[in-house]
Amino acid sequence: MLNVEGVQVLKGPQGTLFGRNTTGGAVLITTAKPSQDPSATLQVSYGRFNTQQYEGYATTGINDNIAVDIEGVLNKGDGFVHNIYNGDDHEGAYDNYALRAGVKFDPTDNLSFLLRFQHSRSDDPTNLLGGTYVANGRPLTIGAFIPGTVIATAPDDISNSRPVAFSNVSNVLQLTSALTLPFASLTSYTQGRWEKADTFLNQDYSSLSFFALQIPIYNRTLTQEFLLASTGDSKLQWTTGIFLYDNSDQWEPISFAIDTKPGPPFNPLGAFTTSGTDTRSGAVFADLTYEALHNFFVTVGARYSRDEVDDPFFTELPPNGAVTATRTDVPPVKTNTVTPRAVLRYKPDDDSSLYASFSRGYKAPIVNVGGGTLTNINVAAEKIKAYEVGYKYASGPLAVDLAGYHYDYTNLQVSSYIGTASLINNAASATINGGEFDVRYRVARFLELNAGANEMNAKYNNYPDAGYYAQCINPAVCGASTGQFAVDSVNASGNQMQRAPKFTGNIGARFTQDVANGEFAFAVNDYHTSTVYFIASDEFKQGPYSLVNLRAEWTDPSKHYTFALYGDNVNNARYVNQVALGNFAIGAIYGYPLTYGASVRIHF
């Protein structure tokens, strides 16, 4: 998005505002509205692995009351993987594009409408391309016990006998209506999203064509929010509103094949399973902030939510092996929840702020029909109590953010996969204790430094029934006859939470200097993370690593042209981004190696 005005990252549960309730946080991206003043931006970049990106944005006024804009982006490239089975260097090729158009209509000074339509298409197998995970020197795939199987274990290698694929088509229609009243502003957000995705998976992560899946998904989401917020400079400021959500998620017949014939076409043997849910949610909320004393503010708020899952079902093959699937209807689920929040904030001066907050978050219960079984199908609502204290300072060249937090989870929803089945269950309790800081300092006119770090202790306190994947029981069991890995349960109580590193940090610098009457800028950033576990059993992990990125650019005196060179992961760190868990193999999907390129930006 070339027309972003601002980005806000809100940490922790958002128990009152910002759409459907969440326990994790919210990212608010504010884009520029269509403008009466004509302007246009075009950016083109090219990099390693034939990476190409084309972006454009333009806006103009039609008359005094109507303005329009249009934005487009195209990303394409060859990807970085090499297929050691057939020598193909282009199986990671991707082609993604998105188009968005908007019309802003201001019939009066107090009333405005913004209508946007977005269409996007993605053909990108990147997140499905992996080799075999290696544990204790052994590649974890059934292919290790079948003579002649080609197994890829290096970060850039795969060994697929047939290409994997992922495609997604999305259409979004959004209307934002804003009315200014004498005492408040009333805003309506109306949105519809329609998506169709298709995935083709390799389940053995080797050159075998042992088990392949094709998974089509259809999803439709409708949302409506009304937001009424006070205006003026009264000591009492308030926001209230209504939020409505309706979602239909349908997994169409998942086709499967067990054969040894490599390459396309994919000839499915039959429908493996289908599933679907209709989810509806409604909420009313209010949030009030009052200046009780000079520069001392008290905020209280609450949200009442009602969530229901209707018509959940799944189909599965009968035990006798018949191809015709049978449908199982699952009882619907309904729940009501109130999530409050409270904040105390004191401003010693205009440059600093001290605060302490408490909030409760809630993630709606789930009917886990994706598992294709009645086992663990009802997943309880996740609830969290969050406490945070912090200090913020910004004046002149220095800005400092400090925070300490404690999160107390009940029925934490934890997700993983057993083979092709989605496993979601509840950890009875979990806690996160942590502290973080962020500092930005302009040393001189030409040099700015930044640094940040987060130290976190995230543990499952009580999680006796966590799923896990063992290595092969023995070569006989993992041979061609069954090809199964041991799937069991383990007591994960006391384990480090999945995807929750104990430490993350970043440090960076930006240097600017006048060159040839224009401005030259050079930036470097180093991000570091400690060990990350990919599953609650802490069985599969990625050790500590760092990513170093560089960028140098020059903007001409007119500020119409910017030329840049960039390098990402210049230290060429090789790290696992994702572990793909299955009954026939454990896959390891790596992040991009060193990439570099150049870009040109034109703005008028």
Q: How many CB atoms lie within 10 A of CB 85?
A: 21
pLDDT for 418 equals: 57
More confident residue, 265 or 528: 528
In the chain, domain spans: 380-604
pLDDT for 20 equals: 74
> What's the pLDDT tens digit per position in 509-561?
999 999 999 999 999 999 999 999 998 888 889 999 999 999 999 999 999 99
Q: Give the chain's mean pLDDT.
A: 89
pLDDT for 562 equals: 98
Residue 63 pLDDT grade (very low, low, confident, very high; cuts 50, 70, 90): very high
Residue 417 pLDDT grade (very low, low, confident, very high; cuts 50, 70, 90): low
| Predicted confidence (pLDDT) at residue 5 exceeds the cutoff of 50 | yes
Rounded Cα distance, 165 and 95, in Å: 12
Phi and psi dihedrals of 131, rounded to 5?
-95, -160
Task: List beta partners, residue 490.
Answer: 466
pLDDT for 477 equals: 46
Q: Give the total residue count for the chain.
A: 604
| Predicted confidence (pLDDT) at residue 258 exceeds the cutoff of 80 | no
Average pLDDT value for residue range 498-511? 97
Rounded Cα distance, 431 and 457, in Å: 8
Residue 473 pLDDT grade (very low, low, confident, very high; cuts 50, 70, 90): very low
Average pLDDT value for residue range 433-450? 97
Rounded Cα distance, 430 and 468, in Å: 18
Cβ–Cβ < 8 Å for 569, 546: no
| Predicted confidence (pLDDT) at residue 272 exceeds the cutoff of 70 | no
* Lowest-pLDDT range of 207-216, 228-237, 305-314, 557-566: 207-216
Spacing of C-alpha 471 from chain mean position: 30
pLDDT for 491 equals: 87
Percentage above 90 pLDDT, the chain:
68
Average pLDDT value for residue range 360-388? 86
pLDDT for 201 equals: 82
pLDDT for 174 equals: 97
Show the CA angle centred on residue 26, arms to residues 22 and 27, nearest 5°. Answer: 155
Strand, coil or helix: what is 471? coil
Average pLDDT value for residue range 156-168? 91
Phi and psi dihedrals of 370, rounded to 5?
-65, -15
More confident residue, 471 or 33: 33
Nearest to 11 by CA among 493, 538, 456: 456
Rounded Cα distance, 125 and 94, in Å: 7
Rounded Cα distance, 182 and 372, in Å: 55
pLDDT for 264 equals: 47
| Predicted confidence (pLDDT) at residue 218 exceeds the cutoff of 70 | yes
Q: Does domain 380-604 sit in CATH 3.40.30.10?
A: no
Write down the pTM of the prediction.
0.89
Return the structure tokens found at 432: 């996160």
